[in-house]
Amino acid sequence: MRKLLIMLILLLIFLASVGIGYFYLNTRNDQRNSSKINENIIQNEIEYISTEQTDEIVSPNSELIKTIYYNKCGHTMTEEENISDDLVNLNEEQIKEKYEDWEINYFSNKKISIYQEKDEFCPEHYIIGTSEGLVNIYKLDENGEDELYETTNIFLNYLPEADQEKIREGIEVLGIKNLNSILENYD
């Protein structure tokens, strides 16, 4: 009988362990499911802010290329410069607003090329002439009118007769390099 009693106690302990284990596992599963539901609710409530940049913007090392076509003389001048600080981090639309009189030919974060036409003469037109016995340099303004640019210390009467005649008539020169080259011949 004693053996039967021990077996019965062991059976009860076993059944109690199974019951407690079952209850414990069920409670843990309910907690997990409830935690997952709360996580889903929290994730659905989070507002996502995109930090992706879709517009191309100007970088600090960009290059600005300005091309101007002058209708009155037919010349084109191109100027390349580093980007100014006020243009850094602007997109193409913002550059269009800043340069509203210009046409954007090319835009990237490294290089911007803009174009403009002007109904005037380019600033590279010079005339070598004379006044009061000295050789003078005149520059054509945007309307084609000559204005005194520089008076040299070259006396006209010390030059050969052929050169004196050319200077009296006015020698048209295009570009400062050509102007300096001609003046060097007269020194």
Residue ranges per structural domain of the chain:
63-118, 125-186
Lowest mean pLDDT across 25-29, 39-43, 116-120, 135-139: 39-43
Reported confidence tier of residue 121, pLDDT bands at 50, 70, 90 = confident
Reported confidence tier of residue 102, pLDDT bands at 50, 70, 90 = very high
SS (H, E, C) 127-161: EEEEECCEEEEEEECCCCCEEEEEEEEEEHHHCCH
* Topology of domain 63-118, CATH: Ubiquitin-like (UB roll) (3.10.20)
For 46-83, what is each residue's pLDDT tens digit? 555 555 556 788 888 999 999 999 888 888 989 999 99
Please answer whether residues 135 and 150 qualify as being in contact, where contact means their C-beta atoms are separated by less than 8 angstroms.
no
Closest CA to 147 of 129, 165, 171: 129
Lowest mean pLDDT across 61-65, 126-130, 136-140, 142-146: 142-146
- DSSP-assigned states of every residue in 48-82: P------S-B--TT-EEEEEEEETTT--EEEEEEE
